[in-house]
Structure 1
Amino acid sequence: MSFRTWYESQKRTRKFHPGWIVMTVGGTLLVAGVIAVPATLVAETAPPPAAAPSLPGASGHGKAPGEAMPKVIEQTPSPARLRNAKAIQVDFSPPSDEAMPTGEFGKAVRLGKAIFTDTQTYARQYVGNKLNCVNCHLGAGRKADSAPLWAAYGMFPAYRDKNKHVNTYEERLAGCFRFSMNGKAPAPDSKEMVALVSYSYWLAKGAPLGVELKGRGYPQLAEPSQKPDAARGKQVFEANCALCHGADGQGTEMGGRYVFPPLWGKNSFNGGAGMSTVKNAAAFVHANMPLGKGSSLSEQEAWDVAKYVDSQPRPPDPRKGKSS
């Protein structure tokens, strides 16, 4: 019996026959094979899709409460950078103040910002000079290239050469109080420490952990063509810095509060602070000073004025007990 004759007999009698299953499955596999092969070839040879264009306002600044956090966009690293994962930098923008959380956690975040911007009022018992945290971390800890909190938080715990062991983020903050503030550290469970950590955590919300973010710390300068010189640095200071910090480097005080901080003497950072190292001070100065005119000084001028400022008397490093 031919296939056509068999098929017509099945239609007339409407009887089920197992051969129908074989015919159906075989036909399905045949059709699928015909379609799948060319589809695979097209997929393998087609060019990759073009990258989606970036949207306006994607930086994340000025977002209203409840809006999505900004996305982290990784730069395409060079092969040299791939050999050192820590050196691969990514872009990140912290959330706006308008997006601060509510409730008890929101209170802690707001207290953390208050301590950071007005340490003299909100953490006075832990401070031994006239500085506020914001003097070295501009923009309430937000400004890129001024050691922003959002870029520091995700890099701890980490080993530090300064004290030769792995530090938690709380210990890193404690060091700021001990050296930069020439004071004593709040206890890890104190309301001040909890608030500062909460503020840092919130600023870093959405950032990857253990990855160096663009703007972290101060942009390090290349070694100067001339050895840093305090005499040249004094001239740079008088021309560019004395207007705000005073000819004697003791800052500008109004109504019992410092508008511009003292750079040396008993009311400034001590000899153990990171800013007492010329290379750190030079990097900060070049990126951020004069205030609002960062990068206006040459790198050599930044090295020289940092040498001049760090050569002035200040409280001793508490680990050494002598003036730096």
Structure 2
Amino acid sequence: MKSKRLMLALSALLLAACDHPAPQAAAPTATPPAPAASTAKSAAQFQPPADSSIPNDDFGKQIALGREIFIDPGRYAKAYVGNQLSCENCHLDAGRLAHSAPLWGAYPMYPAYRSKNHKVNTFAERLQGCFNYSMNGKAPPLGDPVLVALESYAYWMSRNAPIGTSLPGRGYPKLAKPAQAPDYARGETVYKRDCALCHGDNGQGQQAAGRTVFPPLWGAQSFNWGAGMEQVNNAAGFIKANMPLSRGNTLTDQDAWDVAYFMDAHERPQDPRYSGSIPATRTSFHDTPDSLYGATVNGHLLGQGTNQP
């Protein structure tokens, strides 16, 4: 009963946060950030349909299944998942929330060329990459019912969105480089103050009643070195807009960069594209100052991977 009560309480917190998302502040420039109200107005230019409008027909069943997979892939797509994360951990409010890579901002932008794999990707191929990297699993084959359901959900959510237009609130905010280079020690201070309560002292996350309610941020149950969140700039933008949960835009930009660096300076599962050489894998796939793969932090060469929690 205790674990069930904890699950209900934490679920209520998550739902409350998603029902009342914090407005997104403008990315820092030479002038002060724009007022939160103006950015909330721009993000509201597109609103995805309410879940209650999912049609009650065979296509609606696929949409609803896609939503269930998105929220709980460990249950509905178990064969393809290799960690304790869900899609909703990085795409909040079941993929609806602006500034947390919402589905309605992504679906209309595909097919698209991606430098990550040096080819034009369909949306289904983009979803395959999420399973390979963020979920540390294996990609469902094209045409698999899991991909069909997820793509149906994304298509439905994007109804009336303009094709090929980058909508306000798409992706994660792009933060300007901080005044000071991101720092592990400062990031650890921010983490202990603002993140550890939910994500655990060692980044292990929290579970209740057998389900993850706050995701692990590093270690064997987190995203692997091939995921986009391993890049400090991506993590900083997501954190700034959305964290702590229900209190987005309360951290300073410097705090967001520092805690993103701290999070990404921990070991996690190996990049599936690993060639047998950390330097060669970095050269091929992580050749950017925003990736810590192949960097040495606190005497540890990052990119060795881990099979331990």
TM-score of the superposition, structure 1-length normalised? 0.72
Q: Could you say which residue in structure 1 is the equivalent of 2:5?
A: none
Distance 1:188 1:150 in 2: 21
Q: Could you say which residue in structure 2 is the equivalent of 1:137?
A: 91
Name the amino acid aligned to 1:110. A
Aligned residues: 238
Q: Secondary structure, in 3 states, of the residue corresponding to 2:133?
A: helix
Q: Could you say which residue in structure 2 is the equivalent of 1:316?
A: 270
Q: Could you say which residue in structure 2 is the equivalent of 1:209?
A: 163
Q: Could you say which residue in structure 2 is the equivalent of 1:200?
A: 154
Distance 1:89 1:139 in 2: 15
Q: Could you say which residue in structure 2 is the equivalent of 1:223?
A: 177
Distance 1:189 1:258 in 2: 28
- Aligned positions of 1:1-324 closer than 5 A: 91-320=45-274, 322-323=303-304
Whose Rg is larger?
1
Distance 1:95 1:141 in 2: 12
TM-superposition CA deviations, 1:48-98 (whole Å, max 9, x none):
xxxxxxxxxxxxxxxxxxxxxxxxxxxxxxxxxxxxxxxx99921111111
TM-superposition CA deviations, 1:85-118 (whole Å, max 9, x none):
xxx9992111111111121100000000000001
User: Which one has more relative contact order, counting CA pairs under 8 Å at least 6 apart?
Assistant: 2
Deviation at 1:323, TM superposition (A): 2.7
What stretches of structure 2 of length at least 5 have no aligned partner?
Answer: 1-41, 276-302
The sequence identity of aligned pairs, in percent, is: 57
TM-score of the superposition, structure 2-length normalised? 0.75
What stretches of structure 1 of length at least 5 have no aligned partner?
Answer: 1-87
Q: Could you say which residue in structure 2 is the equivalent of 1:66?
A: none
Distance 2:163 2:43 in 1: 12
Distance 1:310 1:138 in 2: 20
Deviation at 1:258, TM superposition (A): 1.3
Alignment check: 8 A CA contact 2:63 2:149 kept: yes
Q: Secondary structure, in 3 states, of the residue corresponding to 2:130?
A: helix
TM-superposition CA deviations, 1:120-148 (whole Å, max 9, x none):
10001100001000000000000000000
Distance 1:157 1:172 in 2: 9
Alignment check: 8 A CA contact 1:90 1:212 kept: no
Distance 2:199 2:147 in 1: 29
Name the amino acid aligned to 1:216. R
Name the amino acid aligned to 1:268. S
| RMSD (CA atoms) | 1.6
Alignment check: 8 A CA contact 1:271 1:323 kept: no
